[in-house]
Structure 1
Amino acid sequence: MAESHRPKGLASAVSYRDSKAAYRWLEEAFGFEPLFVLLDEDGNLAHSEMGYGQSVVMVGNEWSDDHRSPASIGGKNTQSVHVQLGAGEDIDAHCDRARGAGAAIIAEPETQFYGDRTYRAKDPEGHIWTFGVTVEAKTAAEWDAEGGFTTKTRLDD
């Protein structure tokens, strides 16, 4: 059951046409952990939360013109969610699990210039999820040299 207080941090909230199906699917496909569901008097999902490591994703129904599933707005996303796997976790197996559950893999696992191996997937309603795991810890100087970038802390530095 959910704690009554949350630590300081961020959580994403995603809207679905069928939030109950999405809640079940996110557990099966991505390994998100059910934390709690809040059902209304008709048994509809009013709110729910799932955990992954120290993070939370809120899963709910479409509830206003501004809170829609990509399936309701031509497949468009205004943001995507990045999920970092733990050190040593097998991202290729994670991708295979997601694919097996019906995720559309839109970018196969690939090692990036900054040392993470990542893949991107769309869930059944079209939300884009990126998963990554660090396979080689690199310094900013190393990834700048490899990627042709300049890393800073602030824009005005």
Structure 2
Amino acid sequence: MSSIPKQTLCTVVPCMRYRDAPAAITWLCNTFGFEPQLVVPNEDGTIAHAQLSFGNSMIMLGSVFDTEFGRLMKQPAEIDDFVTQSTYLVVNNADLVYGRALEAGAKILLDIKDEDYGGRGFTCRDPEGHVWSVGTYDPQG
């Protein structure tokens, strides 16, 4: 086995960009249950950097900026709502989160169902088009 991974609780951290990062932070926390760990706002109200925790994992996000790194990424709306990756959240109660997602106006892409491989889950888009899968299937458990 490789010794490359660092021994830490969270070794893979998705990084995302949002046009309205403050609204995205609120939506992700209220809908999925993320908790703000660190939010660094700019003077103009955009977000330079944010870390949202979820159990022993997290995502990092920020506002869309025209920077060297920012030019590597496209928002779903810029590429006909396609995405090149999505995030899977392992939850205890997929039906509860599904209800929250519906109330928050998420576009449901794959309705909630019991999966053949185990677990129960659904797939949706957040307000800016990023694709999220949420379910009880735990590949580690």
Q: Is the TM-score greater than 0.5?
A: yes
Note if 1:68 corresponds to 2:41: no
Distance 1:13 1:67 in 2: 10
Q: State the 1:68 CA deviation.
A: 2.7
What residue identity is the alignment partner of 1:54?
A: N
Bigger radius of gyration? 1
Note if 1:112 corresponds to 2:115: yes
Deviates more, 1:53-62 or 1:121-130: 53-62
Distance 1:128 1:44 in 2: 22
Give the corresponding residue for 1:31. Answer: 33
Task: Tell me: CA distance 1:90–1:68, structure 2 relative to 1, closer, same or farther (3 Å).
Answer: same
Distance 2:121 2:59 in 1: 20
Give the corresponding residue for 2:85. Answer: 79
Give the corresponding residue for 1:143. Answer: none
Give the corresponding residue for 1:124. Answer: 127
Give the corresponding residue for 2:4. Answer: none
- Sequence identity percentage: 35
Give the corresponding residue for 2:43. Answer: 41
The Cα offsets for residues 62-107 of structure 1, whole Å up to 9 and x where unpaired, read as: 232222321233212010001111xxx2211110111101111111
SS state of the match for residue 11, structure 1?
coil
| Ranges of 4+ aligned residues in structure 1 off by more than 6 Å | none
Distance 2:26 2:108 in 1: 19
Distance 1:43 1:125 in 2: 18
SS state of the match for residue 65, structure 1?
helix
The two structures have a TM-score, normalised by structure 1, of 0.74
Give the gaps of 5 or more residues in structure 2.
1-6
SS state of the match for residue 42, structure 1?
coil
Please list, as runs of the form range in 1=range in 2, the aligned pairs for 1:1-12 lying within 5 A after superposition: 7=8, 9-12=11-14
Give the gaps of 5 or more residues in structure 1.
1-5, 138-157
The two structures have a TM-score, normalised by structure 2, of 0.82
